[in-house]
């Protein structure tokens, strides 16, 4: 499926205000798609809405808050209908340290966003997509969702969970829909610099990554259900 075949799609994107999400917003909008995005920072969300006004919609939402995610989805479903593509991109990286030195609150918050937040968004949008008989849920994974490294155990645990829940969800979906785990590859973002500061600068920038990544996301369809892909 080509990008042209999915023109004018409605795309839900979490973590839209920075890094990979922000780069994808610009790329999708430039291709004529409608982006319905969220982030946690009010100033960044306002700047995004001013830069990309209607039909795009951006809101302050903490996806770890199930009630907030549900209310956000209800507003968007009422005005835009079932999305064609939901990209669960919002995530946190832990402060690099041995697992036993990670405070319980920090570990819990990371899992709340990376895992619970992904499920909250799926729970909020997927029933409408099932009723429409089409749509793709793309959950951002990581190389660390398929391998491990020291000092990033909480992040590894969260992305392994995303891989597992995506695979199980794929087995539950009716025909016409797809759930796909997508590893973005290694990109120079704030999150990567937090974990790998000495080498992050040598990696591709989000704006350079976004065109190829958008091709991958827009090309996803029912035949990709259950796949684990890497950009």
CATH number for position 182: 3.40.50.720
> Does position 132 have pLDDT exceeding 70, yes or no?
yes
Q: Which residues contact 178 (CB under 8 A, 6 or more apart)?
A: 135, 136, 137, 170, 220, 221, 222, 223, 224, 225, 226
Per-residue pLDDT of 77-88, as tens digits, reads 999 999 999 999
Per residue in 163-178, pLDDT tens?
Answer: 999 999 999 999 999 9
**Could you read off the pLDDT of 86-124 as tens digits, one per residue?**
999 999 999 999 999 999 999 999 999 999 999 999 999
Output the six-digit token pair for 41: 């920072």
| Of 6 and 121, more confident | 121
Give the whole-angstrom CA distance, residue 210 versus residue 20.
Answer: 7
Residue with tokens 């990008």: 3
What domain count does the chain have?
1
Q: How confident is the model at residue 205 (pLDDT cuts 50, 70, 90)?
A: confident
Q: What three-state secondary structure class fits 87?
A: strand
| Alpha-carbon span 214 to 93, nearest angstrom | 23
Q: Looking at residue 185, what is its pLDDT?
A: 82
Task: Calculate what percentage of the chain has a pLDDT beyond 70.
Answer: 90
Q: Is 155 considered catalytic here?
A: yes
Q: How confident is the model at residue 198 (pLDDT cuts 50, 70, 90)?
A: low
Annotated catalytic residue within 58, 72, 155, 209: 155
Q: Which domain holds residue 167?
A: 4-230
Q: Specify whether the CB–CB gap between 27 and 48 falls below 8 A.
A: no
């Amino acid at each position: 499926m080509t990008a042209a075949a999915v023109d004018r799609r409605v795309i839900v994107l979490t973590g839209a205000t920075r890094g990979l999400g922000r780069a994808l917003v610009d790329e999708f909008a430039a291709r004529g798609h409608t982006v319905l995005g969220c982030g946690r920072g009010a100033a960044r969300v306002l700047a995004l809405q001013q830069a990309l006004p209607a039909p795009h919609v951006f809101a302050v939402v903490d996806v770890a808050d199930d009630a907030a995610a549900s209310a956000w989805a209800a507003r968007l479903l009422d005005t835009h209908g079932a999305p064609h593509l939901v990209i669960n991109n919002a995530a946190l990286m832990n402060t690099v340290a041995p697992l036993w030195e990670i405070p319980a609150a920090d570990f819990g918050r990371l899992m709340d966003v990376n895992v619970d937040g992904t499920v909250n968004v799926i729970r909020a949008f997927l029933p409408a997509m099932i009723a429409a008989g089409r749509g793709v849920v793309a959950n951002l994974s990581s190389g660390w969702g398929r391998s491990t490294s020291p000092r990033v155990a909480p992040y590894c645990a969260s992305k392994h969970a995303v891989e597992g829940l995506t695979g199980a969800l794929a087995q539950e979906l009716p025909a016409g829909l797809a759930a796909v785990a997508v590893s973005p590859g290694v990109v120079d973002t704030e999150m990567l610099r937090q974990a790998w500061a000495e080498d992050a600068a040598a990696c591709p920038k989000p704006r350079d990554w976004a065109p190829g990544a958008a091709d991958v996301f827009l090309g996803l369809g029912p035949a990709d259900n259950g796949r684990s892909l890497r950009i």
